[in-house]
Structure 1
């Protein structure tokens, strides 16, 4: 047996084992998410038992449970799941393309740009619902294009994207601050609630649009995942394997930008979920796999779990979900910076 065949013989079982572990992690995370969904749908001023929730979900609920789930809690829980999953996948794509563990949409300016465009629509034009959703999508893509143009030096390199993104994000935050001070008191209050990342008043139409967009973009991300795995080896290796690195990066980053924009348009900038979800999923799966499915599931668990804490941790007070994710994510970012080079 040659050295190459021996190496192939040892790595094949390892890959199968890693794939099995990825499936197990995905199943376990989805099971945890299902439990959180039951809790989110059942807890509140009108408590519902798990059997009542399950009955309503399969079409055998009574009038009260159907109303509570369909009109009150269902849209919020679905929005939390979709926002978290979108941010988890977006973070995994950006971190893998840039090959930097802190290069999430929060850090490189995408979220800040999307937030600034949404705030322009809210403060200057009173936009909401589907109109706000569309404005945030356009604004996020425009900011991403600006970052790509400024960071382009014979291709897209990780460090330049991070540094340029931080600068563009700072500019977007300046626009946000100016809009908050120039608008009326009522507009400032609405804008501040949205900027904190809130699921307190989700729009059912927007949630439906996010669901359709997430399914399409998630399918696109899974189709591109083999290219994403090759890109993690470096541009030279990717080119030697027949991949056009810059073209693949643009398509992948556009997918991440649209996922981020959809999440921001639905709930505002829910901070740090995109930063945390992918590294947690990779650690659970092991083997250095990108694991887009587990990253989506972890993001959904983090967001829905944080929203439940935001609703019920303080009696009589409902916090924005972004406050809770920020309390968890900020120490995580400091830990990453402290242990990195």
Structure 2
């Protein structure tokens, strides 16, 4: 290999690295701007100086309650849930090598939702119990999907179809719970199922925040293995990757943060579905889009919540806005995959 070729390769790699750093910084900056907007905007608009004073612990008349008690938990819920949905969705789509293989479509989010709704309507359980049940429900759903799709050989298409079937069953179970539930529990369950940041409280955010800080580094450390898994089972094994161990670690980490995000905000539609493809297109080849996918998830959730609050005469939950955005893309993707014959 000539020196000129080596220099070209190094220059191209440095160019991709600069693009990755620039893009990640841009996405983080947009996320920060949206976080500040979430704290400033409402029935009363507070200046940045008042917001900063409240965050520093000062008592500012009017702003302390509005910003510290109402807007800050709402913003943090959107921040951490959006990041969890974006990161977890990207893990599933990359590992299973299909944009349809995301938690919303293959039923994992529905497993967490069914467990949470059961706790809300039947058990009338605490938020802690709802979080634990969501994680267990998500993990059981993942195990069931992989077990049923295993067959004589692993098939991504079979996994997606079985996941869609399980999602339909879980949706029917959720509808049954809503049908038999007490009238005073239904508004809570319906608001939760729509995917909403309304009513977020600091004490309910702790499990999600802790899980994101614990499992995000684990997923990022496995980013190279995830990229190799995207090449296929045989190639990954030939390159020395322990595919079973890597897949289990990635799945468990992703399911836990996804389930806790779902328990905190409800199943915000299509964020896990959209964040990965958007981030991958922006980053391009050569670098993992894990972190950008999480940031895209944050932007989608916070921007959709601001739109739902202020763009219409009525206020809509964030899940309604993301559903409006994501549904056409899902239809387009299904048509494209059907034409290619990938499923």
Where on the TM-score scale, by shorter chain, does this alignment land: which range? over 0.9
Cα offset, 1:62, TM superposition: 2.4
Return 5+ residue gaps in structure 2 as ranges: none
* Residue number in structure 1 paired with 2:317: 320
* Residue number in structure 2 paired with 1:136: 134
State the SS of the aligned residue for 1:101. coil
Cα offset, 1:61, TM superposition: 6.1
Change in Cα spacing, 1:108 to 1:11, as seen in structure 2 (3 Å) is farther
Tell me whether 155-164 or 199-208 shows the greater mean CA deviation. 155-164
What is the alpha-carbon distance in structure 2 between the residues aligned to residue 204 and residue 51 of structure 1? 22
* Residue number in structure 1 paired with 2:118: 120
Cα offset, 1:138, TM superposition: 1.2
- Establish whether residue 299 from structure 1 lines up as the match of residue 314 from structure 2: no
Contact kept, 8 Å, 2:13 with 2:286, in 1: the verdict is: no
What is the alpha-carbon distance in structure 2 between the residues aligned to residue 165 and residue 252 of structure 1? 18
Contact kept, 8 Å, 2:83 with 2:295, in 1: the verdict is: yes
Contact kept, 8 Å, 1:93 with 1:256, in 2: the verdict is: yes
Render the CA deviation track for 1:131-166: whole Å, top value 9, x for unaligned. 211111111111111112112246644222212211
Count of aligned positions: 338
Cα offset, 1:54, TM superposition: 2.9
Normalised TM-score (structure 1): 0.93
* Residue number in structure 1 paired with 2:54: 56
What is the alpha-carbon distance in structure 2 between the residues aligned to residue 253 and residue 6 of structure 1? 42
State the SS of the aligned residue for 1:46. coil
Normalised TM-score (structure 2): 0.93
Cα offset, 1:8, TM superposition: 5.6
Contact kept, 8 Å, 2:120 with 2:130, in 1: the verdict is: yes
What is the alpha-carbon distance in structure 2 between the residues aligned to residue 322 and residue 46 of structure 1? 24
1:335 aligned residue (332, 336, 339): 332
Cα offset, 1:6, TM superposition: 7.2
Cα offset, 1:9, TM superposition: 5.0
Contact kept, 8 Å, 1:42 with 1:48, in 2: the verdict is: yes
Cα offset, 1:63, TM superposition: 4.3
Contact kept, 8 Å, 2:55 with 2:68, in 1: the verdict is: no
What is the alpha-carbon distance in structure 1 between the residues aligned to residue 6 and residue 85 of structure 2? 36
What is the alpha-carbon distance in structure 1 between the residues aligned to residue 243 and residue 8 of structure 2? 29
Render the CA deviation track for 1:219-275: whole Å, top value 9, x for unaligned. 111011110011111111111111122221122122211121011100111010000
Match runs of 1:262-301 below 5 Å: 262-287=260-285, 289-301=287-299
Return 5+ residue gaps in structure 1 as ranges: none
What is the alpha-carbon distance in structure 1 between the residues aligned to residue 39 and residue 306 of structure 2? 10
What is the alpha-carbon distance in structure 2 between the residues aligned to residue 22 and residue 156 of structure 1? 33
State the SS of the aligned residue for 1:269. coil
* Residue number in structure 2 paired with 1:107: 105
* Residue number in structure 2 paired with 1:231: 229
Match runs of 1:160-199 below 5 Å: 160-199=158-197
What is the alpha-carbon distance in structure 2 between the residues aligned to residue 223 and residue 244 of structure 1? 15
Tell me whether 331-340 or 213-222 shows the greater mean CA deviation. 331-340
State the SS of the aligned residue for 1:186. coil
Tell me whether 298-307 or 121-130 shows the greater mean CA deviation. 121-130
State the SS of the aligned residue for 2:217. helix
Render the CA deviation track for 1:161-185: whole Å, top value 9, x for unaligned. 2122111111111111111111122
Match runs of 1:144-155 below 5 Å: 144-153=142-151
RMSD: 1.8
Cα offset, 1:11, TM superposition: 3.4
What is the alpha-carbon distance in structure 2 between the residues aligned to residue 321 and residue 98 of structure 1? 28
What is the alpha-carbon distance in structure 2 between the residues aligned to residue 58 and residue 28 of structure 1? 26
Tell me whether 127-136 or 92-101 shows the greater mean CA deviation. 127-136
State the SS of the aligned residue for 2:222. helix
